[in-house]
Every structure is written in structure tokens, then in C-alpha cells.
Amino acid sequence: MVRFRTLAWLALRNLGRELRRSALTAAAMAIGLALLILSRTLADGAHEDWIDSGVRLGAGHVTINAPGHRDSESLDDRLTAAQLQASLAAVADGPTPDPPLASVRVSTRGLASSPEGALPAWIVGVDPAVELAFSRLGEEVVDGRYLEDGDRLHAYIGEGMAERLGVRTRSRMVLTAQAASGDIEGQLVRVAGIYRTGVEALDQSLVHIPLGTARSWLGVEGATSVAVLLAHSSYTDEVVEGVRDSADPADIEVVGWPDTHPDLYSALKLDDGGDWAFHFILFAIVALAILNAVFMSVLHRQREMGLLRALGLSGRETGLVVLIEGILLTLASGIVGVVLGLAVVWFFFRDGLDLSGLWPQDFNFGGVAFDPVLYPVIEVKHVVQSVIMTVAIGLSASAYPAWQAGRLDPAESVKVE
């Protein structure tokens, strides 16, 4: 213990003696780490944004439905009223700080027609107040208004559909689909408002109608699905597990967004790969900076190393002094890097990084439209990962010079001048 304290003391004195060099090395590492953290938080922010945009217009972070419904999309595979109640209760009970937003939906494929024509439609019965907060489709309104509580025979349709069917706000149109009974039923609705998301597939086919209207038209009591929106995508697995475990009527299916949005998921994975490549380069630069600094200082101090040996330190202990120097440098840089990185994130990007100049209008990716303003998200797990990797690299980069120092021939070393 005395020995180790002495070695650590020597390492500290060495760093102190070459304060400028130590500070420069530490600064290089710290900046590397800060960049890493900045890039991680922006990437995490972008990803969270993509996921959020994707699941809002789609099936939510978590989707609850009857088994088989995701394939069949049939009203036959639906949640009963009892299953629906149990599911909602389980969601409300979940692990998130605030109860998540749960949108009860009755959806079906059908046909939208007007005197001018007909189009295949994806018709979704929603609770207007909930859905307004959920999909934000109501914010994309270009004419008229979104659905409201108390609406009965209203529909909210996309710009593409309005053009193709030649309808406008307040026009009437007919929705036709197969009801639960098996009969084809028509429903007359009036256009309450028209939206534009920029995603053509959506704008041409997605129709929102009030939940009550959908239920009575299609003869359904429960729902086809419950879409759950979480405060953060990282809660997904936990919520999925929680609902699976607690939902009493066992015969329901609970899945997370990667299953319901496979394109989005693979797009994110692809982007992650790119990030890793970038981070790898950053790490390599940091590693070389440390390696160079520690190595130079060892070469520089061969004589001292030889002297330490003559004074009774073993080769390993001499190497340990060098290693401790590397560790101290790395730790100092780690702390400075984290603080610097988070500070930069906080001071410069708190209000978002606006990329609208770089992105084409109505940019969409994996069927999802994106907000061109990037908000960094500080994910503790990723920050910790960055720190661990930097420290690991700092250690391995000092390990080699340390090993070299331990192997120096003492008689040769004391001769170096």
C-alpha cells in the first residue's frame, strides 16, 4: 500500500512537472470525448425524433391488439370490451412517471367514394381529443378543422384524397367497408377538415372518423387496437412486458414499435452503424493522442526510469508509474470531457439544431415525415458508454508505453542523457 501510494505520488509529480504537456493531452482527450457526447446526444435526439414522428402517425410505441390482427387487419380479430378495459388499466398502471397516452382505435380497410370517384382508404375511428395529442395529425390541417368531441358524421382526410375525390371541407362522401357482421356497410360522412403530412401514401388514404361513428357503423364494441405513446422510446420494452404480464384476459397481443414499424427500425439501425463508424474514428484519434503523449514522455524519461530501478523499483512498478499517469490523465480528461460535452449540448443546442436549410421540404424517411429541427437527447446510458470507452482507450493506450517502460534495461537507461 505504501508502495502503491508512492508510485501514485511519483506519477502525480511527473504530470505536475510537465503540466503543459499533460494539460494538452488531457485537453485533446476531453475535446474528443466532448465531441463524442455531442454527437451521441444529437444522434439520440434525431433517433428519438424519428421514432416519435413514426409512431405518432403509426401504431404508437406499444400496440395492443387481438392475436392475428396485425396480419389479418380484420374486424374478426378484435379486442372485446372487457379486454379493452383490462388493457387500458394495465397501461395506466405502467412504469412510466406519467400515465402514457393510449389511443383506442377501430380501424379497417375500406373504400372512400364521392361522385367523382373512389379510393382505397385506411379508415380509423378515434377519440378526437386523445388522437389530437397522439398523432398530431390535427396540426397538419390545411383546411377546415380536426375532429372534435361530439362530432358524429365527420371525417378528416388528406389533401391527396381530397384532390382525387374532388371533395372539399363540408363536402359529403361515403365510406364503405365490411362490418363485423360480414355485411358490406356504407357510412355517409361530411369532410370536417383536410390535412397534409407530406407523406403521399398517408395523404391519399388515411381517414379519421369519430370512434363512436366507427363502432356503430361497423358493429364493434371493443376496439381493433390500442396505440400507446410513451414519453420516451426507451420505456418500450418495459411497458410491453408490464402489459403482457398484467393484462387479465390473456388472449391479447402486445408488441413494441420495432415490430410494428420494421422499416423505421432498420433505418435507425443503419444510421446507428454510420454513427459507430464516426465514433470509431473519433476514438482512434483520441487513442493516438494519448498513446503519443504517454509514449513520448516515456522516451523522454528513460534515464529517470533507469534511476527508479536502481533505487529499488521493479520493472513492473516502474511501468505502473507510467500506467497511473495514463489513468490520471484519462480520468481528468473524462471528467472535463463529460462536463464540456454536456455544457456544449446545454448552451448551444438546448433549443435545437435547425437543419431545415439542409433538408428537402417534406423530407420523409421510412414512410415518416421529419421535423428538421434536431433536439439533443441526453441518454445517460450512452453518455456512460462514451465515458467507459474513452477511459478504456486511455488505459489501453497507456498500457503499451507502460509495458515498454517496465522492460527498459536499467543500465542502458541510466546512460541516456
Q: Which residues of 346-365 are buried (b: 16+ CB within 10 A; e: fewer)?
A: eeebeeeeeeeeeeeeeebb
What part of residues 2-21 is at the interface with another protein (CB under 8 A)?
Answer: 2-3, 6, 10, 13-14, 16-17
Question: Cell match 381530397: residue?
Answer: 162
CB of 328 to another protein, least distance (A): 14
Distance CA 336, CA 27 (A): 8
CB of 321 to another protein, least distance (A): 11
196, 142 contact by CB (below 8 A): yes
Q: Which listed range, 34-42, 106-114, 165-173, 315-323, lies at the site for another protein (CB under 8 A)?
A: 315-323
Query: Which parts of 66-170 fold into alpha helices (H)?
Result: 69-72, 81-92, 128-134, 159-165
User: Parallel, antiparallel, or unpaired: how do β-strands 172-178 and 184-195 relate?
Assistant: antiparallel
User: Parallel, antiparallel, or unpaired: how do β-strands 368-369 and 364-365 relate?
Assistant: antiparallel
Which residue, 14 or 53, has its beta carbon nearer to another protein?
14
Distance CA 131, CA 277 (A): 39
CB of 325 to another protein, least distance (A): 11
Which residue, 22 or 53, has its beta carbon nearer to another protein?
22
CB of 302 to another protein, least distance (A): 11
CB of 14 to another protein, least distance (A): 5
Q: What amino acid is encoded at 134 in this protein?
A: F
Which residue, 238 or 317, has its beta carbon nearer to another protein?
317
Q: Collect all residues with Cβ–Cβ distance below 8 Å to 56 and sequence separation of at least 6.
A: 134, 135, 136, 229
| Site residue total, another protein (CB under 8 A) | 28
Distance CA 239, CA 341 (A): 31
Which residue, 131 or 304, has its beta carbon nearer to another protein?
304
What part of residues 17-76 is at the interface with another protein (CB under 8 A)?
Answer: 17
Which residue, 97 or 312, has its beta carbon nearer to another protein?
312
CB of 30 to another protein, least distance (A): 23
CB of 342 to another protein, least distance (A): 34
Burial of 80 (0-12, 13-18, 19+ CB in 10 A): middle
* Greatest Cα-to-Cα distance within the chain, rounded to the nearest angstrom: 101
Which residue, 22 or 260, has its beta carbon nearer to another protein?
22
Q: What amino acid is encoded at 54 in this protein?
A: G
Which residue, 9 or 280, has its beta carbon nearer to another protein?
9
CB of 329 to another protein, least distance (A): 15
Q: Collect all residues with Cβ–Cβ distance below 8 Å to 339 and sequence separation of at least 6.
A: none
Q: Which three cell numbers stand for residue 318?
A: 516502474
Query: Please, which residues bridge with residue 349 across strands?
Result: none
Q: Where are the beta strands (DSSP E) in 19-116?
A: 62-65, 101-114
Which residue, 311 or 380, has its beta carbon nearer to another protein?
311
With CB under 8 A as the contact rule, the residue among 144, 212, 258, 315 that binds another protein is: 315
156, 164 contact by CB (below 8 A): no
CB of 327 to another protein, least distance (A): 17
3-class secondary-structure state, position 298:
helix
What part of residues 295-314 is at the interface with another protein (CB under 8 A)?
Answer: 303-304, 306-314
- Among 328, 317, 257, 325, which residue's Cα sits nearest to residue 296? 325
What part of residues 382-411 is at the interface with another protein (CB under 8 A)?
Answer: 409-411
Is 414 among the residues that bind another protein (CB under 8 A)?
A: yes
CB of 13 to another protein, least distance (A): 4
Which residue, 5 or 350, has its beta carbon nearer to another protein?
5
Which residue, 10 or 37, has its beta carbon nearer to another protein?
10
- Name the site residues for another protein (rule: CB under 8 A): 2-3, 6, 10, 13-14, 16-17, 303-304, 306-317, 409-412, 414, 417
